[in-house]
Amino acid sequence: MLKVINVVGARPNFMKVAPIVEEMKRREHEFAPLVVHTGQHYDSMMSDAFFRDLDIPEPNVHLEVGSGSHAVQTAAVMERFEPVLLREKPDWVLVVGDVNSTLAAALVCVKLGVKVGHVEAGLRSRDRTMPEEINRLLTDQIADLLFTPSEDANENLRAEGIPEERMRLVGNVMIDSLFQQLARAKESSVRQVLGINDQEYGVLTLHRPSNVDNPDTLARIIGALEEIGESLPIVFPVHPRTRKALAEFGFEKRIQSNRSLRMIDPLGYLDFLGLYSRARLVLTDSGGLQEETTVLGIPCLTLRDNTERPITVEMGTNTMVGTDPDKIASAAFAALNGSIIEGRRIPPLWDGNTADRILDALVEKERK
């Protein structure tokens, strides 16, 4: 039996770890899973609600690192995770995604000689100003097994000199969560509560520092949203970082005065899935929504100049629009006219069975 520590730190991690832990529990004769929550996202809407919605067991260990600079967070995770490894002596540690917790936990494993697998390996934005890109690059260099979501990720790893035997093309584990929870999400009353049950609408998420910490950039995005809002109301669950910036730059009242832009508090996983899965259009600067909208067939406009998920543009429903208001509005109207998702396809292995393939790869690796 393999003892496996599953490390989570921020909201995007939870959707990736949930199906893996569930599959480990189902294959209890092969796996003994533990969940370690670093506490990188530490308030209830950013963490606890997602544990409840995704049926993730209460963490066996909570490191409670909290907020801080990238260096402070990374160091705190390393310092607090090391004694957990020494005490538990796992066969494997699985880290997911690209947050500070991902790299920190992987570094501790390598220093102590504990085997580590990276779920969602090989994604590249080619933008080293993004902290997440550094986390991806370094984690992939040191992990023992690299579980990739698509063939382009394997190509990235090959170009960086990663040996083929460390790669496993398994598909997208976040889509496992999507398929598992979609029926439950459709029972959410969030649209009725918001009064949009029978109304067409768009959904916006916005949180990246490059978008929300610069008043000029934020103003451009808001201008585009106001133009789109003349044709389609937009629901905006506001990230705490974004709400702070809107207030600081004096934009909060501007949005509140526009009936087509509706700011709401952050939502749990099921309510948010219930909201955006019925949307006509999604605008976002996050990564996971690019993938989920591709599977659901929803037009997605990504408010960035690059993406670590180019397959969602090449095969899916995603369009990169940056922060130019004319480009954002033009792409939005094209999406609403139906021309933006012609010929879209779901990438191979995005079928809801990725967690099973990850566990098969771990078992196979142990037998060699």
Mean pLDDT of all residues in 348-358: 98
Query: pLDDT tens digits, residue range 80-132?
Result: 999 999 999 999 999 999 999 999 999 999 999 999 999 999 999 999 999 99
Residue % of the chain over a pLDDT of 70:
97
- Write out the DSSP string of 65-79: --S--HHHHHHHHHH
Max CA separation in the chain (angstroms)? 63
42: pLDDT strictly greater than 60: no
Give yes or no on whether 2-172+350-367 and 182-336 have one common fold. Answer: yes
pLDDT at position 41, please? Answer: 63
- Nearest 5°: the CA angle 269, 189, 319 is 50
| Position 57 pLDDT exceeds 90 | no
**Cα distance between residue 164 and residue 168, in whole Å:** 8
Question: Which residue shows structure tokens 């949930």?
Answer: 18
Q: What single letter denotes the amino acid at residue 262?
A: R
pLDDT value of position 182: 96
Predicted local distance difference test score (pLDDT) of residue 45: 54
What's the pLDDT band for 11 if we cut at 50, 70, 90? confident
Q: What is the mean pLDDT of the chain?
A: 94
Specify the amino acid at residue 17: V
Q: Is the pLDDT confidence value at 350 over 90?
A: yes
Q: Are 31 and 1 within 8 A, CB to CB?
A: yes
Rounded distance between C-alpha atoms, residue 232 and residue 38, angstroms: 39
**Which residue from 291, 5, 296, 358 is spatially nearest to 123, judged by alpha carbons?**
291
How far out from the chain centre does Cα 215 lie?
25
Tokens for 181? 């929870």
How far apart (Å, rounded) are the C-alpha atoms in residues 155 and 310? Answer: 12
Q: Is 37 a known active-site residue?
A: no
Q: pLDDT digit string (tens) for 312-333? A: 999 999 999 999 999 999 999 9
Question: Nearest-CA neighbor of 107 among 76, 133, 66, 69?
Answer: 76
* 234 CB burial (10 A radius; 0-12, 13-18, 19+): buried
pLDDT, position 39: 87
140, two tokens: 């992939």
Residues 145-153: what's their mean pLDDT?
A: 98
141 pLDDT above the threshold of 70: yes
Domain extent listing, the chain: 2-172+350-367, 182-336
Q: What is the mean pLDDT of residues 168-180?
A: 97
15 token code pair:
């959707």
| Whether residue 178 has pLDDT greater than 60 | yes
Q: Pick from 271, 217, 305: which is nearest to 52 by CA?
A: 271
Residue 245: its pLDDT value, please? 96
**Whole-Å CA distances, 251 to 234, 272, 329:** 16, 24, 19
- Cα 262 from Cα 239, distance rounded (Å): 13
Distances (CA, A) of 119 to 89, 95, 166, 170, 358: 20, 6, 12, 9, 8
Q: Is the pLDDT of residue 43 over 80?
A: no
How many angstroms separate the CA atoms of 11 and 62, rounded?
A: 15
The amino acid at 164? E
Query: What is the three-state SS of 9-72?
Result: CCHHHHHHHHHHHHHHHHCCCCEEEEEEECCCCCCCCCCHHHHHHCCCCCCCEECCCCCCCHHH
| CATH annotation of 2-172+350-367 | 3.40.50.2000
Radius of gyration of the chain (CA): 20
pLDDT at 341: 67
88 vs 12, higher pLDDT? 88
Q: What is the mean pLDDT of residues 176-186?
A: 95
Contact 318, 281 (CB under 8 A): no
Query: Side chain identity at 304, as an amino acid letter?
Result: R
Helices (H), 42-167: 48-53, 70-88, 100-112, 131-142, 151-159
What tokens appear for 350 in the block?
């995005």
For the segment 238-249, what is each residue's pLDDT rounded down to a tens digit? 999 899 999 999
pTM for this entry: 0.93
E strand or H helix at 118:
strand 115-119
CATH classification (class only), 182-336: alpha beta
Residue 27: pLDDT over 60: yes
Rounded average pLDDT over 205-232: 96
